[in-house]
Amino acid sequence: MSWSETRLGYESDLMLQLFDVWKAYDGFQALRGLNLEVKRGEIFGLVGPNGAGKTTALKIIVGLLKMDKGSIRVNGVNIEDEPYGYKKFIGYVPEVISLPEYLTVEEFLFYSGKIREVPNEEIRERVNFYLHAFELEDKKKTMILLLSRGMRQKAAISSALIHDPELLILDEPLIGIDPAGQHRLKELFVERIKNGKSVFISTHMLDTAERMCNRVAIIHRGRNVATGDLKSLQNISKTGENSTLEEVFLKLTEEAEKEIYEAPTEEPPKKKRGFLRTFGRT
């Protein structure tokens, strides 16, 4: 049994937990104490206006950025304790997809499988499966350079699924994908959550979130404004039981904006300063 299997807590209901996560860059406070919980077996949506901190949060979860303060657990594993090992559980598709354009679709999926230490037989099997599922079979020998935006998106999603991760993290997953492809993707997500896996989607397209997600978190200016299914969000916002996610979203973000305007400015946490900080303490 590997280290991860002994301590990841498969029995845990929570696939992802964010506690008081802060992040600032280029003089901009992107996240201000973000808290989130994604359960096992759900499609969770992260929605918010432009600049709310959605992409920053996702990048921190997948290890492309480091947080200034807070803690994150993925499948029970603290990501700061195991900065690489926890990535076995995740598959990630960024918003702006840059893929190795000089590889063919098949070669790219081989590469994705290899760097995730998937055995060769399983790689072949899964590559065939996803090429079929996303109708990329006739493009498998085509170089990524020659693919359309939607096809690149499908190749990237296949790559994120090649090691069958527990948590699939997608930033704006449906941009560029045709309606039939969107439908197949949703079916795939539903299939995954039936098997106890989770899907975490970040989007600013509210109808997508309403259509696809079991629960949604609305974030604004780096803070979680509200989390829940549509019904509970309707109750929180008091917009009525027939209101759409868009109406709920507008009401809640407006209130949050008002609160921020009225409340005094919060100080961001001081960054760790390594040697000097340690020296100062002693």
Partner 1 sequence: MGAFWDLVKMKVKVFLGTFKASRANLALFVFFILYFTAASIGLSMVLADTVRKGSNPILYIDQFSAFINLFFVLVLMGILKGFTVFEYEYNMVLTSPVTPRHYLVANVMADLITYSVFFCPFFTALGAIAVSLGLSVLLTLLTFALSLIFLFFLILLKISFSILNSVYGGLTIKLAIVILMVLLLLPALAIFGYFPLRYRDLPYPSTLLAQSIISLIYNELPPTESFIGITLCFLVSLALFFVTTRRNVFPFAKPTPLMTPFDTSMRAQTLKMSTNIRYFSRSVFRLGVSLNLSSKSLTQFLMKKEFVRMVRDGSLFTSLLMFVIFSASSLDTRTEQGSMPAWIFILTFYSLIIQSILISQWRIGESETLWIPLTSHLGLEHTAKALLYSLVLISFVVPAATICFLTLAGLITPLLLFAFLVFAASLSLIGCSVNLFAAIHFLGKKSKAVPSYMIMLVSLLLLGLLVSPAFGYLILCLILNIDFVVNFVSAAFILIYSCAVFYLLSKKIREKFLNIEL
Q: Which residue stretch of 10-18, 120-128, 211-219, 222-230 sits at the interface with partner 1 (rule: CB under 8 A)?
A: 120-128
Return the residue of 41, 85, 228, 269 that touches partner 1, per CB under 8 A: 85
Restricting to residues 63-82, which ones interact with partner 1 according to CB under 8 A? 63-66
Per DSSP, what are the bridge partners of residue 21? Answer: 34
Alpha helix positions (H), 84-148: 105-114, 120-133
Residue 99 touching partner 1 (CB under 8 A): yes
Q: With respect to partner 1, which residue has the nearer C-beta, 65 or 250?
A: 65
Determine if 6 is a binding residue for partner 1 (CB under 8 A): no
Output 117 or 241, the one with its CB closest to partner 1: 117
Distance in Å, CB of 94 to partner 1, minimum = 6
Mention every residue, 6+ apart, whose C-beta is less than 8 A from residue 178: 150
C-alpha–C-alpha distance, residues 36 and 95, integer Å:
20
| Interface with partner 1, residue 110, by CB under 8 A | yes
Residue 54 and residue 24 in contact, taking contact as beta carbons nearer than 8 Å: no
CB of 79 to partner 1, least distance (A): 11
| 11 binding partner 1? (CB under 8 A) | no
Among 29, 55, 56, 112, binds partner 1 (CB under 8 A): 112
Least CB distance to partner 1 at residue 104 (A): 8
By the rule CB under 8 A, 114 interacts with partner 1: yes
* Cβ-contact 118, 162 below 8 angstroms: yes
Size of the site for partner 1 (CB under 8 A): 36
The closest of 71, 92, 93 to 82, measured between CA atoms, is 71
Q: How far apart are CA 100 and CA 107, in angstroms?
A: 10
Minimum distance from residue 11 beta carbon to partner 1 (Å): 22
Overall size of the chain counted in residues? 282
Q: 54: number of CA atoms within 13 Å, CB side?
A: 27
State yes or no: residue 28 binds partner 1 (CB under 8 A). Answer: no
Residue among 201, 118, 194, 196 nearest 161 (CA) = 118
Pairing state of beta strands 198-203 and 167-171? parallel
- Give residues in contact with partner 1 (CB under 8 A): 25, 59, 62-66, 84-88, 90, 92, 94, 98-104, 107, 110-112, 114-117, 120, 123-124, 143, 145, 159
